[in-house]
């Protein structure tokens, strides 16, 4: 990727955004390198020159998006907060802010979540597993378990939140950046509902 990274930043962004939009709109199989090249204003040969293959470009974009989100969370996440629901809220707020800053990532990550193409599915599963490990560490490391009522399985609660997130980005919906605030508000209200039912009374 050295040749690509030697380009002016504005040119890099143009190519990245064109590729994110193309894959996000059409999925992996239906997106052609020619589509990306035309949208970026460069030749098809230059796309191969910079990235190698369509698959290489696809995973470069996935790494690009993941790194942006994870770095932002690492930089802004307050580890001194030990409350489970406050941590979830903080991480979600940071992620939404990142997506608003880089709106082209929304449709791409949205499509990646539901991608089934055999050429990329194995690599996606591996990267998603790494993302899950990162999320788990962010939420649980140094967290205060004592606020939960006795018998509550906190890891199951985390799974429930992931299922809720999947529902909010259901593929039948046409998700837009302007929808994020509404979705975030609904998600946070759901968090409060769970908190009110799962926390001991003195912590409400």
Spatial contact of 24 and 106, defined as CB atoms under 8 Å apart = yes
With 50 as the cut, is the pLDDT of residue 172 above it?
no
E strand or H helix that includes residue 150:
none
pLDDT of 179 reads 80
With 60 as the cut, is the pLDDT of residue 148 above it?
yes
Query: Rounded CA gap, 162 and 99, in Å?
Result: 18
CB-facing half-sphere around the CA of 130: CA atoms within 13 A: 10
Indicate the pLDDT class of residue 107, thresholds 50, 70 and 90: confident
Tokens of 144: 């205060």
Average pLDDT, integer, range 21-29: 93
Residues 7-19 have pLDDT tens digits of 999 999 999 999 9
pLDDT of 175 reads 64
| Domain architecture of the chain: domains with CATH | 55-203 (1.10.357)
Q: Which of 140-149, 164-173, 180-189 has the highest mean pLDDT?
A: 140-149
With 90 as the cut, is the pLDDT of residue 110 above it?
no
Query: Rounded CA gap, 147 and 201, in Å?
Result: 9
With 50 as the cut, is the pLDDT of residue 82 above it?
yes
CB-facing half-sphere around the CA of 55: CA atoms within 13 A: 8
Indicate the pLDDT class of residue 191, thresholds 50, 70 and 90: very high
With 90 as the cut, is the pLDDT of residue 167 above it?
no
Cα–Cα nearest to 19, from 68, 52, 49, 60: 60
With 90 as the cut, is the pLDDT of residue 182 above it?
no
Query: Rounded CA gap, 200 and 145, in Å?
Result: 11
pTM, two decimal places = 0.83
């Amino acid at each position: 990727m050295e040749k690509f990274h030697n380009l002016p930043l504005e040119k890099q962004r143009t190519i990245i955004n064109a590729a994110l939009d193309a894959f996000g709109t059409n999925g992996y199989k239906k997106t052609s390198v020619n589509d990306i090249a035309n949208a970026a204003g460069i030749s098809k040969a230059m796309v191969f020159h910079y990235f190698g293959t369509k698959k290489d470009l696809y995973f470069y974009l996935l790494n690009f998006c993941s790194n942006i989100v994870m770095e932002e969370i690492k930089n802004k996440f307050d580890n001194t907060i030990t409350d489970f629901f406050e941590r979830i809220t903080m991480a979600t707020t940071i992620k939404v802010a990142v997506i608003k800053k880089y709106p082209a990532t929304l449709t791409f990550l949205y499509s990646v979540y539901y991608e089934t193409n055999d050429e990329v599915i194995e690599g996606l599963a591996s990267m998603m597993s790494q993302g899950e490990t990162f999320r788990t560490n962010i939420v649980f490391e140094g967290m205060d378990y004592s606020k939960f009522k006795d018998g509550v399985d906190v890891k199951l609660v985390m799974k429930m939140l992931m299922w809720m997130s999947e529902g909010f980005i259901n593929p039948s919906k046409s998700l837009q950046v302007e929808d994020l605030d509404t979705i975030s508000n609904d998600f946070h209200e759901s968090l409060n509902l769970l908190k009110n039912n799962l926390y001991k009374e003195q912590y409400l």
